[in-house]
Structure 1
Amino acid sequence: MTDAPRRPLDDLLLYRLSRLLSVAGSMVIRLCEGRFGITRREWRLIAVLASRGELSSSQLAEHAQLDRARTSKAVGSLVTKQLVSRVARAGDRRQVALGLTEAGRALYDALFPLVTQINTELLGALDADDAARFDDSLHRLQARAERLVEEAVLPKADRGRRAAARGAGNPRSTPSP
């Protein structure tokens, strides 16, 4: 019995998008880390706060599409760097509002145009009609992905088992896209 030929990863949309993000996103990462002293995740949180204003930690995690633990860690780092402030909400000191400090706003104002330029350069590969169709396609793909997630009946990842596997000498136990 012969095995059927296997299709290459390059045939998969998610793999191709991941590669695009890896290549083009590396320029943003170098800017963030090398010039501004923040991580890509911290940049995402700063950008969300700049566009949405003050948010709770859970709202920030939701808008940034990050889990709460990673958001909390990044927020702690941004507070230490004095780029984000935590202000207790009136009436409930357990609730805090997160917002950009003056330094955080200045960093956003300096970095956003550079990230925009990278995006503009990348989209320069498409003419105006192709860019409009691509934008429409991305919106439709995003909507479809959200519907698929809502409808999916998949088991949750066993994070404890993955962490144990990594600790047992297997640093890359998670599959790539």
Structure 2
Amino acid sequence: MKTDAGLKLDAYLPYRLSVASNAVSGLIARAYQDRFGLTVPQWRLICVLAEDGALTQGQIVARTVMDKVTVSRAAQGLLRRHLVARTAHHADQRSHVLTLSSQGERLYAEIAPLALAYEQALIEGLSADDVEHLKRLLLKLQARATELVDADPPG
């Protein structure tokens, strides 16, 4: 059934964002999986711990906007590989703090240049102003989407 209702999938911004995100994530995921045996959530967790230091899983959920189950599975996989260490939280015994192990720090130091090389390859042909503008727009879209989660549906 063909309709002229106005919605054209290829012009629909949420679809375009999703397709672009999937393409970029898929490209990078293959590199992390093939070379280092990591999933994208595991890589994100390693990166956040390298940048921010010790964090609880709840803090990682908030920082990465990944769901609790994804963070938990990523953490378990990294714990099994001794890439992160887990200690009891000093104030909340039900919670644990994750930190990169020395092995995890070495892996991060090896992967970070590869991640930056992929970023450079992806933005090749874009000006520095284009890249900064894109980053600002993505942050605005993310903030607006967060606002809309608790709002009444539009229309």
Structure 1 length as normaliser, TM-score? 0.77
Tell me by how many angstroms 1:4 deviates: 3.2
Letter in 2 for 1:146: T
2:97 is paired with a residue whose SS is strand
Q: Determine the C-alpha separation between the residues in 2 that align with 1:141 and 1:90.
A: 37
* Structure 1 residues 123-143: Cα deviation after superposition (integer angstroms, max 9, x where no partner): 123122322322222222222
* Structure 1 residues 73-103: Cα deviation after superposition (integer angstroms, max 9, x where no partner): 2211110010010012346543321110011
Quote the residue 1:5 is aligned against: 4
Quote the residue 2:76 is aligned against: 76
Question: CA separation of 1:91/1:137 partners in 2, compared to 1, >3 Å: closer, same or farther?
Answer: closer
Quote the residue 1:102 is aligned against: 102
Quote the residue 1:161 is aligned against: none
Identity of aligned residues (%): 34
Q: Number of aligned residue pairs: give it.
A: 153
Quote the residue 1:36 is aligned against: 36
1:151 is paired with a residue whose SS is coil
Quote the residue 1:113 is aligned against: 113
| RMSD, aligned α-carbons | 2.2
Q: Determine the C-alpha separation between the residues in 1 that align with 2:132 and 2:72.
A: 36
* Structure 1 residues 105-156: Cα deviation after superposition (integer angstroms, max 9, x where no partner): 11111111111111122112312232232222222222222221232459xx
Q: Determine the C-alpha separation between the residues in 2 that align with 1:129 and 1:92.
A: 45
- In our comparison, the structure showing a higher alpha carbon Rg is 1
Quote the residue 1:19 is aligned against: 19
Q: Which runs of 5+ in 1 are unaligned?
A: 155-177
Tell me by how many angstroms 1:8 deviates: 3.1
Q: Which runs of 5+ in 2 are unaligned?
A: none
Structure 2 length as normaliser, TM-score? 0.86
Question: CA separation of 1:152/1:33 partners in 2, compared to 1, >3 Å: closer, same or farther?
Answer: farther
- Please say which of residues 142-151 and 111-120 is displaced more in the overlay: 142-151
Q: Does 1:140 align with 2:131?
A: no
Quote the residue 1:158 is aligned against: none
Q: Determine the C-alpha separation between the residues in 2 that align with 1:46 and 1:129.
A: 29
CA contact (8 A) 2:88 2:95 kept: yes
- Please say which of residues 142-151 and 50-59 is displaced more in the overlay: 142-151
